[in-house]
Amino acid sequence: MNKFVLCAFSVLIIFFLFNVERRVGLFDNRRYNNYIDEYSNKFSVDFLLVRSIIKKESNLNPEAISNKGAVGLMQIMPKTAREIATQLGVSDYSSEKLKEPQINIMFGTYYLKKLLDYYNNNLILALAAYNAGIGNVDMWCKEIPNVSSNPTKIPFNETKNYVKSVMFIYKVHNSYRK
């Protein structure tokens, strides 16, 4: 192989790696890892799964607010957050606290664990419920064959794309774990 081809090939590989890193966020902004580690251990949820959801939901922006009103790193709805605060015994909770990374990650990880337990650790269904709600997912499970094993069967395009995207980010994160 001549030097030009080798150089061009090297540049393409470097470009690919940086593009994957930029899209998936494997090496950026580790400042929330201590909270992710704390609450993924406390609630027995994979650290990289929580990190993948945070990447997809807010791109690691604690000030993020969705057009539907979901707040913070893990994009928690205020109504859901109030319920979680009660369940966790957080007595001084206010909706402004959802922008605090520690509170948001605690609540989001707790909620994710509840969904994983509810759906017997079925990642597709838990992620779909995280995005579209338990009611929708329960209805799909009754009406759509194989929805629990095939995200392409999810009827909401936003949720279908969300599940596939989080699973891709999670897969890439896991490939670096090995």
The reply to whether 158 belongs to the active site is no
pLDDT of res. 88:
97
Q: How far apart are CA 16 and CA 8, in angstroms?
A: 12
pTM of the model: 0.83
Catalytic residue among 57, 83, 96, 143: 57
> Residue 4: pLDDT above 80?
no
| β-bridge mates for residue 65, sequence order | 71
pLDDT of res. 3:
66
**Nearest in space to 149 (alpha carbons), one of 108, 168, 121:** 121
Q: What is the mean pLDDT of residues 156-178?
A: 92
pLDDT, one tens digit per residue, over 63-122 is 999 999 999 999 999 999 999 999 999 999 998 999 999 999 999 999 999 999 999 999
Could you say which of 3.40.50.800, 1.10.10.10, 1.10.530.10, 1.10.274.100 is the CATH number of the domain covering 3-177? Answer: 1.10.530.10
> Residue 23: pLDDT above 60?
no
